[in-house]
Amino acid sequence: MKRSELEESALLQDDCLVIECDLTVIKEPLVDETVEVQVPPSNLSDNIGNLLKTGEEADVAFRVKGEVFPAHKIVLAMRSPVFKAELYGPMKEHGGNDITLQDMQPAVFKALLHFIYTDSLPSMEDLDDDDDENKEMVKHLLVAADRYAIERLKMICEGILCKSLDVQSVATILALADQHQCSRLKDACVEFLSSNGMDDVVASQGYLDLKRACPAVLVDIFERVTKSRKI
């Protein structure tokens, strides 16, 4: 509207223009924005981890080459069918709640317990290829996981070993994979041999050991490598 139109119109009375506004204030409930209950993440595994850390209410003890590890039968049983059979089944181990393990190193059993209670390895998942000590631990853990039928731990160990294969170790790891029915790890070894050649491997100590201990496995491997090269 032009100024001239306005000045002539009836809207302007006594030199005043009255403007009427309807103002609607839309007020959201404040609750959601101002008061938010922050629920912390699940603490179930922390709770179980603490059981191991404190050893409180432990009802079984493992003696491993002089070291004693207290533990909770129900936790071991719920995580491993083998522990379940040994601790609760008709094959219950003699000696009740005081069990001696002959065929394991204390450090390995400690790592096994850590996995059982927390579902994770004790800070070695970022395994360095050069770190032979960690690699040895992973091999021992794979054996322990197989012994106690803890499938997830076995697969984690297989995964780590798959990624750390080299010319020096592949034959030894192949033997391990064969002995503990790790088909994925065995496949990885065969793939490694197909792509990197057998020459250096044949010179390794692991190969000599493997040839002496289970030559049948090597025959299988040679057949598979030869076949895959043809393709």
> Do residues 217 and 174 touch, judged by C-beta distance below 8 A?
yes
Is residue 28 at the binding interface for a copy of itself, with CB under 8 A as the rule? yes
**Nearest distance from residue 145's CB to a copy of itself, in Å?**
12
Question: Rule CB under 8 A: is residue 187 a binding residue for a copy of itself?
Answer: yes
What does DSSP say about strands 12-13 and 60-64: parallel, antiparallel, or unpaired? unpaired
Considering only 51, 99, 104, 214, the residue that binds a copy of itself (CB under 8 A) is: 51
- Mark the segment that binds a copy of itself (CB under 8 A) among 1-9, 15-23, 77-85, 129-137: 77-85
On whether the CB atoms of residues 68 and 61 are closer than 8 A, the answer is yes
Strand-strand pairing, 12-13 and 16-17: antiparallel
Please give the Cα distance from 28 to 33 (Å, whole number). Answer: 9
Give the range of 10-18, 24-32, 98-106, 131-139 binding a copy of itself by CB under 8 A: 24-32
Residues 146-165 interacting with a copy of itself (rule: CB under 8 A): 152, 155-156, 158-159, 162-163, 165
126 makes contact with a copy of itself (CB under 8 A): no
Check: CB of residue 149 under 8 Å from CB of residue 175: no
Question: Rounded to 5 degrees, what angle do the CA atoms 43, 49, 52 make?
Answer: 155
The residue count for binding a copy of itself (CB under 8 A) is 51
Q: Which of 6, 7, 8, 43 touches a copy of itself by CB under 8 A?
A: 43
Q: Distance between the two ends of the chain, CA-based, in angstroms?
A: 86
User: Which CB atom, from 70 or from 106, has the smaller least distance to a copy of itself?
Assistant: 70
Give me the least distance between CB of 182 and a copy of itself, in Å please.
9
CA distance 76 to 83: 6
Helix or strand (DSSP H, E) at 138: helix 132-147
181 makes contact with a copy of itself (CB under 8 A)? no
Residue type, 190: V
Under the binding rule (CB under 8 A), the answer on residue 75 touching a copy of itself is yes
Token pair of 226 as six digits: 């030869």
129, 166 contact by CB (below 8 A): yes
Binding interface with a copy of itself (CB under 8 A)? 27-32, 34-40, 42-45, 47-48, 50-51, 56-57, 59, 72-75, 77-79, 88, 118-119, 152, 155-156, 158-159, 162-163, 165, 184-185, 187-188, 191-192, 194-196
